[in-house]
Chain A
Amino acid sequence: MSALSLALRDSNTMLRRNLLHVRRYPSLTLNVLLTPVMLLLLFVYVFGDVMSTGIGGTGRSDYVAYLVPGVLLLTVGGTTIGSAVSVAMDMNEGIIARFRTMAIHRGSVLVGHVVGSVLQCVAGVVLVGAVGVAIGFRSTDATAVEWLLALGLLALVSLALTWIAVGMGLSSPNAEAASNNALPLMILPLISSAFVPVHAMPGWFQPVAEYQPFTPAIETLRGLLLGTAIGDSGWIAVAWCVGLAALGYVWSTSLFHRDPK
């Protein structure tokens, strides 16, 4: 068996193991979806009218359109926190030591986690997206290509954030620490352009919202689904994702290849 097919086969086995965990214990996966859904309903039905006026809209539906792309990316951030937690939990299991003494592809353990996490992110986006549609979100004349690009962008962001989350999980001694360490993945979307446009924020805060990965990704998603101007956001979002994925990959693999304690 060639090295590549060995890697693929072992990674696939590890992926199936992780999906089995999700199927047996769906609560962790579903819990991370509660926050985005709650925020979506809160901001639409409680703050919706005020927020709509704030962004210069004419009714609540304008704000639904503004909000949903941001909440979808917040869903990705939240799901990857769950990934950091499950990686940290997994590393404390004796079976990881067993994997390390077997003639299997070394990286397959992490690849299994990453692919599993990206699939969970996509499933989460679909579920939260369905809630968005149910409360009135409609895309404005997005073409099939734009839909595909939107989905691709969400998958790319998921991949990048997951590699970072895996590193956070590996560097945490236990599940509690992992969930604390991974908190920025949830905080960053809250202080991005997800809820309020950057130009409506206080001047001193604008750079914080502007120069972070979520804002360009959200603006790109809005552009694809709602036809607003994307400008440089698309390239900036892709650059952020590639950079974070590479950083997370190098960080995670070097942590994993270190001798266990």
Chain B
Amino acid sequence: MASSVMSTSKTAPPAVSAVGLRKAYGDRTVLDGIDLRVPAGSVFALLGPNGAGKTTAVRILSTLIAADGGQAQVAGHNIATAPDGVRAAIGVTGQFSAVDGLITGEENMLLMADLHHLSRREGRRVTAELLERFDLAEAAKKPASTYSGGMKRRLDIAMTLVGDPRILFLDEPTTGLDPRSRHTMWQIVRRLVAGGVTVFLTTQYLDEADELADRIAVLNDGRIVAEGTAEELKRLVPGGHVRLRFSDPDAYRSAATALHDATRDDEALALRIPSDGSQRELRSVLDRLDSAGVEADELAVHTPDLDDVFFALTGGADVPHQTEENVR
């Protein structure tokens, strides 16, 4: 546990805190009692596969839907008893664009300015500034329905920022975006954080969480299965290994005999040997292969990354089974 985080959270109230949040639709439990604590000014990522309950968590914390159990405070307001206090402090951008496609980008922005009760002049100023900042000034007079996916997402965030929110919920902000728009979105998030905004984001991309978040919680099947910094999470799984692949079944069998500590993948004719990837360990593996008189067709060194953590913790259907065995 990062002690610095604990001590700051004692002095400043957390931006988001939740205890035992539960939500079920019929007999399908979507959130099975989750606890969260997001210090003000930090970036928090809720990471999980599709259907883990990420969007439901955001919808509850942003007061869109009510929880069945548990309680949560956002910006110091209880989401159930003081939703308007929460709403005044937050901005939400979902994975499905929340723009009005029938009107222009500029009209969308002015609509937000009116709903935040800005004066006409102030509304125009903020609109022009944000459209410029998000590279939408040129398309400002076109209907939002004609925008590309990346432009819609930028307009979506720009609209959210009209109210100058202190806490920003981003539900899968880069899902469906091309790599370029994705990096633009990351830059936008970093700039917002530099300006003191607390960001609560959900993602199914490990690199995104690794890239942006101070702390990551892994959500699977409605439960938080791990929480910590990217480094802390990586330390949870001993994922480092050397992978050897063979095309000749005989060579594969003799190698497997020589390297008895290896995990076998008989279908792929591949062996995994736990290793920290150091030169010394690599040499010993190669020496043992040499003395057995076999040669591998392919050798790869694998250091643990968030993927290992993710697969180990969420145990989805697309887990490469050798990873699973290795971890267990």
Q: Is the CB of B63 closer than 8 A to any CB of chain A?
A: yes
**Which chain A residues (17-66) contact chain B, with CB distance < 8 Å?**
17, 20-21, 24-25
Q: Which residues of A contact B84 (CB under 8 A)?
A: 103
Q: Is the CB of B66 within 8 A of A259?
A: yes
A202 is an interface residue with CB less than 8 A from chain B:
no
In the complex, are the beta carbons of B101 and A93 less than 8 A apart?
yes
> What's the least CB distance linking B274 to chain A, in Å?
47
B103 interface hit (Cβ, 8 Å): yes
Q: Which of A77-110 contact B (CB under 8 A)?
A: 93-95, 97-104
Q: Is B117 an interface residue (CB 8 A)?
A: yes
A97 to B97, CA, bound (A): 10
Residue contact A101 to B102, C-beta cutoff 8 Å: no
B107 at the A interface (CB under 8 A):
yes
Contacts of A13 in B (CB 8 A): 111, 114-115
Q: Is A138 an interface residue (CB 8 A)?
A: no
CB distance from A107 to the nearest CB of B (A): 13
Decide: A10 near B64, CB < 8 A? Known: A94-B94, A94-B97, A95-B100: no
Q: Does A200 contact B (CB under 8 A)?
A: no
Question: A99 contacts which chain B residues (CB < 8 A)?
Answer: 115
In the complex, which of the residues A1, A20, A102 contacts B107, with contact meaning CB atoms closer than 8 Å? A20
Partner of B102, one of A24, A94, A260: A24
B150-161 CB contact bits vs A (8 Å, 1 = yes)?
000000000110
Contact of A101 (CB < 8 Å), options: B66, B90, B117: B90
Please determine whether B111 and A100 come into contact, CB atoms closer than 8 angstroms.
no
Contact partner, A94, options B63, B96, B116, Cβ 8 Å:
B96
Interface hits, B127-159 → A, CB 8 Å: 143, 159
Chain B residues, Cβ within 8 Å of A104: 115
Interface size on B, residues (CB 8 A): 29
List the B side residues contacting A103 at CB < 8 Å.
84, 87-88
- Segment 79-101 of B: residues with Cβ below 8 Å from A: 84, 87-88, 90, 92, 94, 96-101
User: Which of A9, A20, A94, A259 contacts B65, CB < 8 Å?
Assistant: A259
Whole-angstrom distance between the alpha carbons of A95 and B100 in the complex? 6
Contact (Cβ within 8 A) B65 A101: no
Complex CA gap A227/B215 in Å reads 77
Give complex CA distance A56, B185 in Å.
74
Chain B nearest CB from A96 CB (Å) reads: 8
Residues of B within 8 A of A16 (CB): 114
Separation of A25 and B143 alpha carbons in the complex (Å): 12
Q: For residues 174 through 204 of chain A, which have their beta carbon under 8 Å from a beta carbon of chain B?
A: none
In the bound complex, what is the Cα–Cα distance between A13 and B113 (angstroms)? 10
Is B13's CB within 8 Å of the partner chain A? no
Asked if residues B115 and A95 are in contact (CB atoms below 8 Å), the reply is no
Can you list, as one digit per residue, whether each of B38-64 has a CB less than 8 Å from chain A (1) or not (0)?
A: 000000000000000000000000111
Closest CB of chain B to A42's CB: distance in Å?
33
Indicate whether B228 reaches chain A with its CB closer than 8 angstroms.
Answer: no
CB distance from A254 to the nearest CB of B (A): 15
| Cα(A62)–Cα(B66), bound, Å | 60
Task: Give Cα A24 to B146, complex, Å.
Answer: 14
Nearest chain A CB to B92 CB, angstrom units: 5
Nearest-CB residue, chain A, relative to B23: A259
Query: Once bound together, how far apart are the Cα atoms of A10 and B116, in whole Å?
Result: 9
- Chain A residues with Cβ below 8 Å from B107 are 20
Question: B101 — which chain A residues lie within 8 A by C-beta?
Answer: 93
Bound: A13/B160 CA distance, A: 17
Residues of B within 8 A of A (CB): 62-66, 84, 87-88, 90, 92, 94, 96-103, 107, 111, 114-117, 143, 159-160, 163
18 contacts between A and B (CB under 8 A): A10-B115, A13-B115, A16-B114, A20-B102, A20-B103, A21-B102, A24-B102, A93-B100, A94-B99, A97-B92, A97-B94, A99-B115, A100-B63, A101-B62, A102-B87, A103-B87, A103-B88, A259-B65
> Nearest 6 A-B pairs (CB), nearest first?
A98-B98, A94-B98, A103-B87, A103-B88, A259-B65, A13-B114
